[in-house]
Structure 1
């Protein structure tokens, strides 16, 4: 048991160092809108249960860039939003590991440590700013992303849905020329999303303003997930507005499984998402 615990600690440390060695772009060069604390490094939690690296106290949000091998690069980018109940971020389980998988498919991934804890409003600032920052730059490969989408897990799914339905209006005051660029995702993937059914009688959360301009969505959840209703109400709203949506609901799998083997849902959604991406994004 002691040996296993030691291996887990080494793995978590390696993943964190691996991420830190990658290109990182901080979203706000000067003051961070809505932030009262000084910019500092996120705090790693002592809670490593489930072999998950958790971070909190994010005050200087950034995007960590994962670029695929040049011969695989398809020119499409995806911002990855980890979950954690808007309290922490499961930064490896639903961030770094997802980015590595996307790279194998040819996508450039941008892991977003958005602000936590208890900063739903500010987290949206961060995601919208991330879209604009990425669209303002060129990749190492020398071209701007042809398309830019978002993939979110749990609370990160909530954040992704908010960005996908609230791009019509600015959520924060413009800070520079970058903020004139669009924050609309070209496509959205929601994996076991949460907090989308906070309306009356568990209907769609009122701030999610679905319309014909809402980007196409892929949604995956399981029936035994306590947050599964979020996936159902989101898919229903998209269908009602004749927006493009693909919903998958498995009987079992629970919540918070990421892409790790050993869970039927974790072993199922990646292939379904890959097929959807190839059909609806790459064609």
Structure 2
């Protein structure tokens, strides 16, 4: 597994010195959590050459912008995506409590990947879970705009994803009376978006609200909902929603992806 750091020197909207990420293991839920990230990076997972489809996907774990569920919604997702032929990048964006910095990190990650000829992806998309879904939604607004001032030549590259998957996204309904967050904008040029959520998720309104906004904007999207599943299940077996969303997501990805390289 290769690790790529995002910022060579000073970090935009950074207020802490760079150091190794802090982590804890939740023995009850069996989740490894990064509790502080000050030097944002990506872990790169490559598929076998025999199945490589030439497409990359950046994974944004959730954790309420307080922690990152780095295995449940990061490395486990990457391992699944590589079996489908995708190169997966698990993003360690800044936590805790730096949503603007997290968006800086995601947009920078997109630019880094696109600037490196060794990756040469036909498409580069995003998949985010919970708060990570919120982050991916903000990176997918239209028209696309950078969240930080450029620091080098690669920042002239577009930070707009080619497609986005939002799995039980959260915090997209901060508008009046739980409507769409006022700084989210979509139109017919918005990248294709896949949304999955369950009725019993306390954040389910975010899935419904963004789907409505995409429909009203004539954007391309697909919404799937299940009655039960809750929140924060990743790919873990024993939860019907966790077992079904990957099947639906794979079908959607196959519909929108470009030819193999």
TM over 0.5: yes
Q: Which runs of structure 2 are paired with 1:1-283 in the superposition (5 Å)?
A: 22-139=1-118, 143-165=119-141, 168-282=144-258
Q: Conserved in 1, the CA contact under 8 Å of 2:81 and 2:88?
A: yes
Q: Which has the larger radius of gyration?
A: 1
- After superposition, give the CA deviation of every residue in 1:75-120 in whole Å (9 maximum; x if it has no partner): 0000000000000000000000000000000000000010000000
Segments of structure 2 that go 5 or more residues without pairing to the other structure are none
With normalisation by structure 1, the TM-score equals: 0.89
State the distance in 2 between where 1:119 and 1:132 align.
Answer: 20
State the distance in 2 between where 1:135 and 1:93 align.
Answer: 26
Q: Conserved in 2, the CA contact under 8 Å of 1:77 and 1:109?
A: yes
- After superposition, give the CA deviation of every residue in 1:41-73 in whole Å (9 maximum; x if it has no partner): 110125333100000210100111000000100
- Off by >4 Å, runs of 4+ in structure 1: none
How far residue 169 of structure 1 moved from its aligned partner, in angstroms, is 2.1
What secondary structure does 1:221 align onto? strand
Q: Conserved in 2, the CA contact under 8 Å of 1:187 and 1:281?
A: no
Q: Conserved in 1, the CA contact under 8 Å of 2:142 and 2:189?
A: no
State the distance in 1 between where 2:144 and 2:225 align.
Answer: 30
The root-mean-square deviation of aligned C-alpha atoms, in Å, is 1.1
With normalisation by structure 2, the TM-score equals: 0.97
State the distance in 2 between where 1:211 and 1:166 align.
Answer: 6
Segments of structure 1 that go 5 or more residues without pairing to the other structure are 1-21
State the distance in 2 between where 1:168 and 1:243 align.
Answer: 14
State the distance in 2 between where 1:77 and 1:201 align.
Answer: 37
Q: Conserved in 2, the CA contact under 8 Å of 1:48 and 1:54?
A: no
State the distance in 2 between where 1:170 and 1:234 align.
Answer: 21
> Which structure: greater helix fraction?
1
State the distance in 1 between where 2:249 and 2:258 align.
Answer: 12
State the distance in 2 between where 1:69 and 1:138 align.
Answer: 19
How far residue 241 of structure 1 moved from its aligned partner, in angstroms, is 1.1
What is the count of residue pairs matched by the alignment?
259
State the distance in 2 between where 1:231 and 1:259 align.
Answer: 19
Q: Conserved in 1, the CA contact under 8 Å of 2:6 and 2:41?
A: yes
> Which structure: greater strand fraction?
2
- After superposition, give the CA deviation of every residue in 1:173-199 in whole Å (9 maximum; x if it has no partner): 110001000000100000000001111
